[in-house]
Amino acid sequence: MEGKQGAVVMTPSSAPPANPVAQMQARFKELETGFRAWLTKQPTAVEAAIVTATSAAQGAFIGALMGSLTSDPSSAIPTPPPNAPGLNPQAMASLKQAQAFAGGPLVQARNFAVMTGTNAGISCAMKRVRGVEDMQSSMVAAFGSGAMFSLVSGMGGPNQAINAVTSGLFFALVQGGLFKVGQKFSQPPADDVLYSRTKGMLTNLGLQNYEKNFKKGLLNDATLPLLTDSALRDVNIPPGPRLLILDHIQRNTDTRKR
């Protein structure tokens, strides 16, 4: 419709339609944030079980996809009978190890599901118990991942216990090396060192968009135990995220001690 001075006024019916892709992304982000907030309120065992299951499902999908895109080299390797005369135990162990890393979609899906699920579950439990995510926790999770992979895949010789420990140690050492390399090449800026725990808390709650609000108000790691609703309101954080942040701090004994 036209105003008194000839200006064209946009009516609701003439407004541009909303982008359905953007709406779907916003809805998915909202559901993800709500799920993460709900998950942090669950007992450690429940959170670890859910994280293990979801990570195992993702790993199985990736493994099946990789197995379907590559040929199965294990099918071309003849498997001799276990009681064949003159069979070298070391050769048989090497054959099983090669078959464990090869295989079709089902084998790869199983292997990736076990490795990713175990790693994610142990990492989640260690983080809840210790309150930090460091190299020690990462190496413990990698050890469990390697041990479970060895047991499920049947890799190695007849002594499964020793093979599981050996594989776990190998995975842990590799993960420790990767963790050190990652720390060396991804050192945060000097200012971000003061906000490392704050950033981790906001990421776990799905509220990383409010990191700039914390920095603007100089609310760093040292002020986490002192945070109040009025302090969060002063840096323009909405009521819902304020409740999640204060609830997280109240339940996190390590933060309150600091």
Distances in Å between the Cα of 114 and the Cα atoms of 91, 145, 240 are 26, 7, 37
* 3-class DSSP string for the chain: CECCCCCECCCHHHCCCCCHHHHHHHHHHHHHHHHHHHHHCCCHHHHHHHHHHHHHHHHHHHHHHHHHHCCCHHHHCCCCCCCCCCCCHHHHHHHHHHHHHCCCHHHHHHHHHHHHHHHHHHHHHHHHHHCCCCHHHHHHHHHHHHHHHHHHHCCCCCCHHHHHHHHHHHHHHHHHHHHHHHHHHCCCCHHHHHHHHHHHHHHHCCCHHHHHHHHHCCCCHHHHHHCCHHHHHHCCCCHHHHHHHHHHHHHCHHHHHC
Question: What pLDDT shows up at residue 72?
Answer: 52
Evaluate whether 57 touches 118 at the Cβ level (below 8 Å): no
State the Cα–Cα distance between residues 4 and 50, nearest whole angstrom. 62
CATH number of 190-257: 1.10.150
d(CA 111, CA 67): 11
Per-residue confidence (pLDDT) for residue 101, from 0 to 100: 56
In the chain, which stretches have pLDDT less than 70?
1-18, 71-103, 155-158, 186-192, 253-258
Q: What is the pLDDT of residue 2?
A: 47
- Which residues is 8 bridged to in the sheet? 2
pTM for the predicted model, two decimal places:
0.54
Domain residues of the chain, as ranges? 24-73+90-185, 190-257
